Structure 1
Amino acid sequence: MSSRPGAVWPLVAVFTAGYLASYLLPTIVGRLSAQLGLSPAQAGLVGSALLLSSAGAGFALAGRVERFGPRASARTGLVLAATGYGFAALTGSVPLVVLGVVVGGLGSGTATAVAAAGTAARPDPHRTSSLG
């Protein structure tokens, strides 16, 4: 993120956006079960795919944020999250909802990895983490 001492809020905003996967999980599972006709187990499996894609992106990118550049990585993650979750919200087809959820999860994981790397690089990472 930014190397300026006072530039903490963009980091907190990216971290919050990255946590959309876990924030949206109950809503997504409920919608899949109630509105799209999936059983609770099937809806939970889709929710697990969301969290797995988010965690996979986070693990894959956490050590590579500096190589790709934090701004480019954050922008890519935010675009993927907005596109995936938006697509999932606007479609009624179960396979397309699953695809949108997985893409959104990849974006959330990417944003979280960027924010975590940015927090760790701060002079006082505990204070930044507490602020977030």
Structure 2
Amino acid sequence: MSPRPRAAWPLVAVFTAGYLAAYLLPTVVGRLDAHLGLTTTQAGLVGSALLLSSACAGLALAGRVERYGARRPARVGLLLVTLGYGCASLTATVPLVLAGVVVGGLGSGTATAVAVAGIAAQRDPHRTSSLGLLSVSATAGALYLTMPHLGGGHRLPFAS
């Protein structure tokens, strides 16, 4: 008898939390440009720092998730996401926003790597990855529809 299949919803939730920053990046960069006094190039550099830190964390952890286990790295990643993007949303000082973006990007990459490793171990990884992509797309779509009605500034995309 085969073991009981694991639930996919925790993996989908962690994937959504980790991958949402990449989906919201155009809004983040646009609001940094408009509300923090950064040039378009500087705001793009902040966005690139987010993606680079996320990619570095994901590449460093992807092959090691099975060795470390999934729970501890996922919790660390979600904690880094909360601390990094929370710090970036609470301050208007450019160096602190940049530090928050890098820390949040590390957390996003960690959470995404853990979720993807878990999704790959599922009995039907294609269905689970499709659920993850639909979940993050729906969440980002809902945020894109509601954020303009809630006001401007860089705080809202980071807080979400």
Q: CA RMSD in A?
A: 1.3
Q: CA deviation at 1:131?
A: 2.1
Q: CA deviation at 1:31?
A: 2.2
Paired with 2:21 and 2:115, the residues of 1 have a C-alpha distance of 15
TM-score (norm 1): 0.93
Aligned to 2:88: 88
Q: CA deviation at 1:130?
A: 1.9
Paired with 2:21 and 2:131, the residues of 1 have a C-alpha distance of 20
Letter in 1 for 2:40: P
The percent identity for this pair of structures is 76
Aligned to 2:73: 73
Work out which of the two has the higher radius of gyration on C-alpha atoms and give 1 or 2: 2
Give CA-to-partner distance per residue, 1:30-72, whole Å, 9 cap, x none.
2221111110011001100000001111111000111221000
> Which deviates further from its counterpart, 119-128 or 91-100?
119-128
Paired with 2:129 and 2:47, the residues of 1 have a C-alpha distance of 26
Paired with 1:15 and 1:36, the residues of 2 have a C-alpha distance of 29
> Following superposition, which runs of at least 4 residues in structure 1 exceed 4 angstroms of deviation?
none
Paired with 2:26 and 2:53, the residues of 1 have a C-alpha distance of 16
Tell me, yes or no, if structure 1 residue 45 matches structure 2 residue 45. Answer: yes
List runs of 5+ in structure 2 lacking aligned partners. 133-160
Paired with 1:94 and 1:83, the residues of 2 have a C-alpha distance of 16
Paired with 2:19 and 2:73, the residues of 1 have a C-alpha distance of 16
Q: CA deviation at 1:4?
A: 4.8
Q: SS where residue 89 of structure 1 aligns?
A: helix
> Which deviates further from its counterpart, 40-49 or 118-127?
118-127
1:1-132 equivalent positions in 2, closer than 5 A: 4-132=4-132
TM-score (norm 2): 0.77
List runs of 5+ in structure 1 lacking aligned partners. none
Paired with 2:16 and 2:85, the residues of 1 have a C-alpha distance of 15
Q: SS where residue 38 of structure 2 aligns?
A: coil
Paired with 2:4 and 2:15, the residues of 1 have a C-alpha distance of 18
Letter in 1 for 2:77: G
Contact between 1:21 and 1:54, CA under 8 Å: does it hold in 2? Answer: no
